[in-house]
Structure 1
Amino acid sequence: MRPLIALVGRPNVGKSTLFNRLAGRHAAIVEDVPGVTRDRNYADFIWDGRTLSVVDTGGFEPESRDRLMSQVRQQAQLAVDEATAVVLVVDGREGLTALDRSVASMLRRSGKPLFVAVNKVDTARTEGEIPLADFYELGFGDVHALSAEHGRGVSEMVDAIVEKLELPELPPPPEEQEEPQEVEEADRPRGDVRIAIVGRPNVGKSTFVNALLGQERFVVSDVPGTTRDSIDSIVQHKGQRFVVTDTAGIRRKRSIAQKVESYSVVRAMKAIDQAEVVACLLDATEAGVEQDARLLGLVAEKGKALIIVVNKWDIAEREGATQDWYEKELGKRLPFVAFAPFVFVSAKEGRGVTKVLDRAVRLVEQYRARFPTPQLNELLENLQDEHPAPISRGHRVKLYYVAQVAYAPPTFVIQSNHPEGMTDHYRRYVENRFRDAFGLEVPMRLVFRERKRRSRPPPKKHE
């Protein structure tokens, strides 16, 4: 599980700018107007060999009774509930405000490791003009002067978070190793199929899970999940055991955020991290909306096998929709998950529900599969004969050798003379040929690496 850092604070203190700095890309809208960030934004990032997640919350105003700000407050509280560590972001130029104190008081009750980011400290001179001692009065202990916009002081703060959480370093990913080390049969994942049920509000997750667990008395028992607040159900279907995590049925906590029916991508993130297969429910009457795309993008980024479950299909059918038409329309809206299979269900009627489990078994076989190296290299040779690689710097790009270096998802390293010359178009061509050859409907990763030339031994001296 990736530790989750929640960025919390009143409006317009620079939380989104700090989020973008950590995420390494402009993932949040940044505008100098209070209240721009109304939902939570999420990103995974790697820091000094450790993987973390960060969530950017809306401006937190604990005393506001405005309806919009009340919703933002609930979203921020929910993020704090799920976070591993919390960063209170404040505006150094404005100094410590009563609202900052109010937010800090709420955060202290969370019992989480707490940090203060005194933002907008753009220079050492600026830092000298800001009374940092005032922020130590909050009792958090860790106070960091930084400029999210310019990157000043951000590294030191994240280093402190990593140290406080005592996060171990990860082993280097396969693509960074000197030579492609082929996967071993003994390392192939085995055991129960872990499947997460996710989806935005009102798509019918609870109805779907109830139908899934109720049919043919699949439920064996309820066992505590690997997260502190979820219940995983053990399901038996056609001789295969499944561990089903229902993100709609997670136990409520005693915070204000849990008093309302609100969608938590944070919880979905945890369930997705633990799963091999993610069943993402869409509402057939309004599928492919922005929140669907955001959630599906999260699944794709994490490299999980995906089933797109179109629920309420009974309603769409009555309105004349066909499955072929629907798949084509969603393919246009969601091209980044074109590899994923569709299953059309009516959770209310219990129709098509178990097809999700059947499809999950097929996907897991691909997700855990080992592909023979000779077969891979024969495919690599054939696809170049059919469509030669592009020319880079006056030389034809050549693909020499391919090996599978990881499972779940299947990951392949391809050695080349000029990997930097691989165009996006040719990368897609290679991926599509791999998919076609092996019938892959799961994510796969292709890593193009330069083949190192072997140094020739020195000539023998003639005696």
Structure 2
Amino acid sequence: MTEILAAARPLIALVGRPNVGKSTLFNRIAGRRMAIVEDEPGVTRDRNYADCEWDHRAISVVDTGGFEPGAPAEHAPDRLMRQVREQAQLAVDEAAAVVLVVDGRAGLTEVDRSVAGLLRRAGKRLFVAVNKMDSGGTEAEAPLSDFYELGFGEVFPVSAEHDRGVGELLDAIVAELQVPRTPAPEELTPLDEREEGEEGEEGGRAPDPDAPIRLAIIGRPNVGKSTFVNALLGEQRFVVSAVAGTTRDSIDSEITYKDRKFVVTDTAGIRRKRSIAQKVELYSVVRAMRSIDEAEVVACLLDASEAGVEQDARLLGLVAEKSKVLICVVNKWDLAEAEEATQAWYRKELAKRLPFISFAPMIFTSAKTGKNVAKVLDTAARLVQQSRARFPTPALNDLLENVQRAHPAPLARGKPVKLYYMAQVGYAPPTFAIQCNRPEAISGDYKRFLENRMREAFGLEVPIRFLFKERRRARRRGKPSA
């Protein structure tokens, strides 16, 4: 279950009462330890997302929380029921499929039945994962027949802890959702070799140059997102307030600028987990995350008084992981200038704290005065042109040859690593397949070096991807195949 970067992934929500193993199952599907897992109910307070791949099919998974501990004992059952139902409803609103996770040791409970009833009425694709079936059926485990009472159809016994049955569950989900297959590198066709308008495996059809540019405005609460959008639109389209968290949902607005159409999305502020207390704020986080998925360009607003704080790093990391075109917008710069701050200082601090987004352009603005606000649209249009661009194969291979001549790939166990051929195989982000003799031996440092040379050669300020694949040796003439 390896991570990949792709768009338009179906979202799968894991729902259930506390302490049934949702976070463990989430970590198992994501392929890495992302959610906090403890043997106590109520640990997960916020949605936790991951983009991942199963059987060459791109999906997203969200781990939903249970309840907040600390409720008065006499009201604990009612509070538990209410909060679990709210969590389930929240997931249902956004998910393409919902997995009800239940505890195979504890058996079917009234809370399970209540959540199942809510899910049935929602009309979503539903699956039951009976977790903690660690020993293949013992007296400590409830019989599977009990869970068929929920009426969801097939029931999937799993052990998230020991990775049993998870594959069968995911097979059923991607089959039901008809998730398209992500091609392996050897199946990718260079753009130069496709017919005009032909659909490509990695990058899809050639982008429509007249299609609106989808621009999402994101950032932590109270950095001035709604004020910024109002300045873009030239009107009070949104409620603006100094109270953090005013925007509760993601709202689209159309705008035409220099004969170019944009769809601008104002999203709710994204907080750290411990800062999220109300259901409405939880819902805002869900919608903001999905807005990033749907956007072609993401403008992340940063506070001019704070360079690269923890919340910014987490949010920018999510944007980078999804390979979205990124613009760093340093807002409230009029206030920073009054304190004698300089752009050089801010750039230096941000590069030191967040080096992984060093390629992204940075714009210093004041949403309050309107200074440099329109520059964000100019920059977005320019970056989209880069992200949708075609790069001629001869130019790519000239660059590859020059790079290797000046700085060959390091030896791997005393053997040379050679890069033979490069071709573009996808758009948005620009994706390049490179044939080489030992793909597994190419270090991360050399990949970053190659990426930097690409950026210098073509002036790129957008995410780019490399797919390294081994070149198949041609069969000698006159020699029968093995």
Structures share a fold, TM > 0.5? yes
Contact 2:85 2:118 in 1 (8 A): no
* Mapped pair 1:133 → 2:151: no
1:324 is paired with a residue of what secondary structure? Answer: helix
Q: What TM-score do you get using the length of structure 1 for normalisation?
A: 0.85
1:389 is paired with a residue of what secondary structure? Answer: coil
Deviations 1:385-418 (A, max 9, x none): 2212111232221222211111111111122222
2:161 is paired with a residue of what secondary structure? Answer: coil
Deviations 1:117-145 (A, max 9, x none): 21101122338841333333334334322
Tell me what 2:444 maps to. Answer: 424
Q: What TM-score do you get using the length of structure 2 for normalisation?
A: 0.82
CA separation of 1:289 and 1:13: change in aligned 2, threshold 3 A: farther
* CA-CA distance at 1:87 after TM superposition: 1.6
Tell me what 2:37 maps to. Answer: 30
* Mapped pair 1:374 → 2:394: yes
Q: Unpaired runs of 5+ in structure 1? A: 218-228, 250-256
Structure 1 CA distance for aligned equivalents of residues 23 and 460 of structure 2: 38
1:433 is paired with a residue of what secondary structure? Answer: helix
* Mapped pair 1:176 → 2:194: no
CA separation of 1:290 and 1:58: change in aligned 2, threshold 3 A: farther
* CA-CA distance at 1:79 after TM superposition: 2.9
Tell me what 1:11 maps to. Answer: 18
The amino acid of 2:46's aligned partner reads D
Tell me what 1:444 maps to. Answer: 464
Tell me what 1:362 maps to. Answer: 382
* Mapped pair 1:292 → 2:312: yes
Structure 2 CA distance for aligned equivalents of residues 212 and 263 of structure 1: 25
CA separation of 1:234 and 1:183: change in aligned 2, threshold 3 A: farther
CA separation of 1:183 and 1:214: change in aligned 2, threshold 3 A: farther
Identity %: 69
Structure 1 stretches of 4+ with a deviation exceeding 6 A read 65-73
* CA-CA distance at 1:111 after TM superposition: 3.5
* Mapped pair 1:208 → 2:228: yes
* CA-CA distance at 1:441 after TM superposition: 0.6
CA separation of 1:37 and 1:319: change in aligned 2, threshold 3 A: farther
The amino acid of 1:23's aligned partner reads A
* CA-CA distance at 1:12 after TM superposition: 1.8
State how 1:27-426 maps to structure 2 within 5 Å. Answer: 27-60=34-67, 77-126=89-138, 129-165=141-177, 167-170=178-181, 172=183, 175-177=185-187, 180=190, 182=192, 184=194, 186=197, 187-189=205-207, 190-191=209-210, 192-214=212-234, 232-248=252-268, 260-262=280-282, 264-426=284-446
More displaced, 450-459 or 113-122? 450-459
Deviations 1:207-231 (A, max 9, x none): 21121111799xxxxxxxxxxx965
* CA-CA distance at 1:178 after TM superposition: 6.8
The amino acid of 1:104's aligned partner reads A
Structure 2 CA distance for aligned equivalents of residues 125 and 261 of structure 1: 41
1:396 is paired with a residue of what secondary structure? Answer: coil
Structure 1 CA distance for aligned equivalents of residues 316 and 100 of structure 2: 29
Contact 1:208 1:353 in 2 (8 A): yes
2:391 is paired with a residue of what secondary structure? Answer: coil
Contact 1:61 1:73 in 2 (8 A): no
Paired residues in the alignment total 440
